[in-house]
Amino acid sequence: MFPILYLLFATVLCNGEFMRPPPGKMILTRHAESSSYPQQVHISAVGTDHMRVSWITTDKRVPSIVEYGTDSGTYDMTATGEHTSYRYFSYVSGKIHHVNIGPLLPDTVYYYRCGRVGDEFNFKTPPAVLPIDFVVAGDLGQTEWTASTLYHVNQSDYDMLLLPGDLSYADTQQPLWDAFGRFVEPYARKRPWMVTQGNHEVEAFPVLHDLHPFAAYNSRWPMPYQESGSPSNLYYSFDVAAAIHVIMLGSYTDFDSNSAQYNWLVADLAKVDRSKTPWLIVLLHVPWYNTNLAHQGEGESMRKAMEDLLYKARVDVVFCFYI
């Protein structure tokens, strides 16, 4: 029997022309605990047997330490990591912690605590082999529609969530990044969330050179780009379940045939051995073929540059989300 992966789509499927519905009511999630208490906790896969635990504290004295183990209340392993912060106009982020933990066993529940403060959390690692359950969701935001989407997502005992762009819809309002992190934490701290950027993550002001694009996204949501040989957090790849190679592309960074992303993609595709890795999945934000009247033609330049590469590599499926 050919190995199978299962996909749950948290999106809208439509025939013909699509008209986007009006936005839902925004939900602003507050932080009600102390300044040292970990907030906005989320995890992402690093390699096949490590996880990156990320969280934020407003207390700068909290150490970037994760205690973890396979029994609740017993933390026989400890890992230390790094921290960062960023400034955006008058906004200054809290202390953003990133700690890689592992090696971890596959398909196993781990219990962990961040910064030696606060409650115990837990997550489950993906399986070592197929089958595997993915959730594919995009354009989340933080509205009543997001709450409905994540409620339905949570009904599935999935292994990993793939999110190709448009996370918080902060659109330069940096406190909304904090609200989004708190909003998705109950889900993102339990399963790895692998993301790439959309247009709402750019947050650039070309005339102000000290405001770098993607500052919030790159600081808050680092992905395993270095492990895949990518020079940028805006595009990367990873393997999972010993049979799937996932490529996350960047719609809002250079992609022409002379670009770093294009050259990285050529090299990354060349390394995939389809006899060992039969599934090849690509995710990006802006669709190359689109029924949405609001965004016609926006992906055409990237399609012309990269579609032939994916076709020749016999990519199995491409997921895009842009509403």
In a domain, 289, yes or no: yes
Give the Cα separation of 281 and 47 in Å (integer): 17
Structural contact between residues 68 and 85, judged by C-beta atoms closer than 8 angstroms: no
| pLDDT for position 7 | 61
| pLDDT for position 9 | 53
Give the Cα separation of 238 and 228 in Å (integer): 7
In a domain, 17, yes or no: no
In a domain, 239, yes or no: yes
Higher pLDDT, 194 or 12: 194
In a domain, 18, yes or no: no
Q: How confident is the model at residue 291 (pLDDT cuts 50, 70, 90)?
A: confident
Q: How confident is the model at residue 101 (pLDDT cuts 50, 70, 90)?
A: very high
**pLDDT tens sequence across 105-130:** 999 999 999 999 999 999 999 999 99
CATH number at residue 163: 3.60.21.10
Q: How confident is the model at residue 220 (pLDDT cuts 50, 70, 90)?
A: very high
Domain span holding position 228: 6-10+23-320
Structural contact between residues 116 and 66, judged by C-beta atoms closer than 8 angstroms: no
What are the residues facing 318 on neighbouring strands? 282
In a domain, 182, yes or no: yes
**pLDDT tens sequence across 78-95:** 999 999 999 999 999 999
In a domain, 1, yes or no: no
Q: How confident is the model at residue 3 (pLDDT cuts 50, 70, 90)?
A: very low
Residue 14 has pLDDT above 60, yes or no: no
In a domain, 291, yes or no: yes
Domain count across the chain: 1
| pLDDT for position 200 | 96
Question: With DSSP H G I counted as helix, E B as strand and the rest as coil, what are the percentages for the chain, rounded to 5?
Answer: 20, 30, 50
Q: Which residue carries 């809002």 as its tokens?
A: 252
* Average pLDDT of span 269-290: 97
What are the residues facing 157 on neighbouring strands? none
> 234 to each of 9, 37, 60, 126, 225, how far by Cα in Å?
23, 29, 27, 23, 8
**Active-site residue, selected from the candidate residues 31, 83, 212, 295:** 295
Residue 15 has pLDDT above 80, yes or no: no
| pLDDT for position 2 | 40
In a domain, 147, yes or no: yes
Q: Is 245 a catalytic residue?
A: no
Average pLDDT, the chain: 93
| pLDDT for position 8 | 61
> 161 to each of 135, 144, 203, 235, how far by Cα in Å?
5, 20, 24, 17
